[in-house]
Amino acid sequence: MAQTKKLLRTLNGERLDVPPIWMMRQAGRYLPEYKATRAQAGDFLSLCYNPDLAAEVTLQPIRRYGFDAAILFADILLVPQALGADLWFVTGEGPRLSTITSADDFAKLKPASDIHEVLSPIYETVRILSRELPPETTLIGFAGAPWTVATYMIAGRGTPDQGPAHALRQEDTATFEALLDRITEATIDYLSMQIEAGAEVVKIFDSWAGSLKGDAFRKYALEPAKKITAALKAKHPGIHVIAFPREAGENYIGFAKEVGADCLALDNSVDADWAAKHLQVDGCVQGNLAPGHMVTGGKALIDETRRIVKAFSGGPHIFNLGHGITPDADPANVQLMIDTVRENAS
């Protein structure tokens, strides 16, 4: 069955007349059924750590829309929590963490090998999904990239420019790099356990890669992704990896090839025609409809969806958004997007 799954065929380099579709944050706050399940869980972290409910919200968009892939419902900040950071969510404001800003703070973190007790419910969610997903649906696991995870651990929250992380890497490079190495080791272990539990593809989300410039991009975005990918492929031959260095711009060029990733996910700041010319030449690309179309819908959604499908029609392409769907999106617009992508399907 694996060889007939559209997403896996595309990751193997096959060009399909109708690209497979999934959507970042497809299990989430824009769906009424998700809101009901989250209310049942009590809060966001309780939902992440409840395997039955986390599996349920992962399955909801598959039942509703028939996406070609399901992505595990979890959060990139579970790894810092498993390493010993305090983590909580403030309603309407997002995550908060205890900060790592010195060697003394770093010394309090657990070894990477000690994360699995905290994260064991996540692996159980993957096992449930591997049993319950439709046979044609690919299961994607994921983790945050070391740089992006580090920005939250250093600042204690999301920031507009990742300034605290940039300051630490410049002022205390040894502590910063030790933190990145610890996150990298933990990410390899975490994704490896997801694969053993049943994930067929893993995605590395580097949401803040675009704020790294020059040599820093290579050292702190590309190299960790390369190390993670190589370790996973050595331990799990045949596993597929999607890399997403968001807002990398020109640094997207050659990224997947050098990292060893099977697909390069693109944000919507890059033009699809440019990406087809400069990025798809190396293999599969994923993206890159602007999430705002899921709010506004209409002719603009249809036209832009068609334009992206056409631009990437010459090679392997997974249709997706350029970033996660937002809570104010209209579920009907998601269906319109899917119907537009598949309008020529026989």
- Say how far apart CA 304 and CA 179 lie, in whole Å: 41
| 3-class state of residue 243 by DSSP | strand
The number of beta carbons lying within 10 Å of the beta carbon of residue 249 is 14
CA 224/CA 231 separation, integer angstroms:
11
Q: What is the DSSP letter of 321?
A: E
Do residues 240 and 262 lie in contact, with contact meaning Cβ atoms separated by under 8 Å? yes
The Cα 32–Cα 174 span in angstroms is 46
* Separation of first and last alpha carbons in the chain: 21
Distances (CA, A) of 237 to 10, 70, 144, 189, 242: 17, 21, 22, 15, 15
Measured in whole angstroms, how far is the alpha carbon of residue 29 from the centre of its chain?
17
Asked if residue 57 lies in contact with residue 34, where contact means CB atoms within 8 angstroms, the answer is yes
User: Where does the chain show beta strands of DSSP type E?
Assistant: 69-71, 87-90, 94-97, 138-144, 201-206, 240-245, 263-265, 284-289, 317-321
CA 12/CA 15 separation, integer angstroms = 9
Q: Confirm if 66 and 37 have CB atoms less than 8 A apart.
A: no
Burial 196-227 (b: 16+ CB within 10 A, else e): ebbbbbbbbbbbbbbbbeeeebeebbbbbbbb
Q: Are strands 69-71 and 94-97 parallel, antiparallel or unpaired?
A: unpaired
Q: How far is CA 153 from the centre of its chain?
A: 18
CA atoms of 76 and 8, how far apart (whole Å): 24
Active site residues: 25, 29, 38, 75, 152
Contact residues for 32 (Cβ-Cβ < 8 A; gap 6+)? 331
